[in-house]
Amino acid sequence: MARSYVHEARRRGLGRRRERTVPIIERLAESLPEATIALRFRSNLELLVSVMLSAQTTDVNVNRVTEKLFRKYRRPEDYLAVPQEELERDIYTSGFFRQKTKSIRGTMRVLLEEFDGEVPTRLEDLTRLPGVARKTANVVSSELGHAQGIVVDTHVRRLSQRLGLTRQEDPVKIERDLQKIVPRADWARFPHLLIWHGRRVCDARRPLCEECVIEGLCPSSRLR
C-alpha cells in the first residue's frame, strides 16, 4: 500500500518527495503552532521517565501517573530508595508496570554509576540504558535539543506512507528514508507535526481532506 502512494504522487504530478517535504513541514507548522510533545515534565529526568512509561499507553494516562509520581521521586536515587513493589504500585496504571519498574530502576542505576546522575543526550549513551530502545532515545534526545534521528511511531509511520514519503513498512527503514528528505533542523518537530495532523485532520479511517492544509501535496487526497 505504501509503495503505491509514492507512485501516486508522481502520477498526480505532485513532485518528488524531496521537493514536497519542506512545503509539507512549513504548512503543517503554520497550522499547528502548538504541535509539541504532549507529555508533561519539568526536568530531563522527568522527560526520560515519562517517555519510558509511555510505552503501550497514552500520553494522557502517563501524565496522570506522573503528576503524583514526580512529587515523590525527584532524583535517580529516589527510584532506588524504595522497595521494587512500591515503585510498581506507583506506576501500576501505566500498564506493564513490572517491566517498566525494572527498566526504570536499571536506568537509574546506570545514570548514577556512569553519568553522574544526569540524563545523557547522545543516542548511543541513551540506548545503553536498560529498557531504552531507539525510539525512546530519539524522543529524549530530540526534546533535549540534540535530535540525532527522527521518531517513527505508529502515526508517523502511517502519515509518512500516506503522504508518499516512504515505501517502507519497517520503522528503522522509514526513519532512514525520512532522514534523507527532512532537513536536519526539522528532525525534532517533524514527528510532532505528523502526530498532531494525524489526530486532528488525517484520521486513519476518515481523513478530512477538504480541511487539510497539505491537500495539494498529498497523493492520498480523496478530493481528486
The alpha-carbon radius of gyration of the chain (Å, integer) is 19
What does the block give as the cell for 69?
509520581
CB of 87 to ligand SF4, least distance (A): 41
Residues 6+ apart with CB under 8 A from 208: 201, 202
CB of 212 to ligand SF4, least distance (A): 3
Instruction: Write down the catalytic residue from 100, 135, 177, 186.
Output: 135
Q: How far apart are CA 82 and CA 214, in angstroms?
A: 50
Nearer to ligand SF4, 15 or 117 (CB): 15
Instruction: State yes or no: residue 156 binds ligand SF4 (CB under 6 A).
Output: no
Q: How far apart are CA 91 and CA 28, in angstroms?
A: 35
CA 72 to chain centre: 26
Indicate the length of the chain as a whole number: 224
Instruction: Write down the catalytic residue from 59, 78, 125, 153.
Output: 153
Nearer to ligand SF4, 162 or 189 (CB): 162
* Interface with ligand SF4 in residues 186-215 (CB under 6 A): 201-202, 207-209, 212, 214-215
Nearer to ligand SF4, 123 or 217 (CB): 217
Instruction: State yes or no: residue 220 binds ligand SF4 (CB under 6 A).
Output: yes
Q: What is the H or E stretch that residue 123 is in?
A: helix 123-126
CB atoms within 10 A of CB 12: 15
Site string for ligand SF4, 110-149 (x = CB under 6 A): ----------------------------------------
Nearer to ligand SF4, 53 or 202 (CB): 202
CB of 203 to ligand SF4, least distance (A): 8
Nearer to ligand SF4, 37 or 212 (CB): 212
Q: How far apart are CA 97 and CA 55, in angstroms?
A: 11
Q: Are 163 and 214 in contact (CB under 8 A)?
A: yes
Does 153 participate in catalysis according to the annotation? yes
CB atoms within 10 A of CB 154: 11
The residue type at 49: V
Exactly one of 27, 100, 162, 192 binds ligand SF4 (CB under 6 A); that residue is 162
Q: Contact positions toward ligand SF4, by CB under 6 A?
A: 162, 201-202, 207-209, 212, 214-215, 218, 220-221
Instruction: Supply the residues annotated as catalytic.
Output: 135, 153
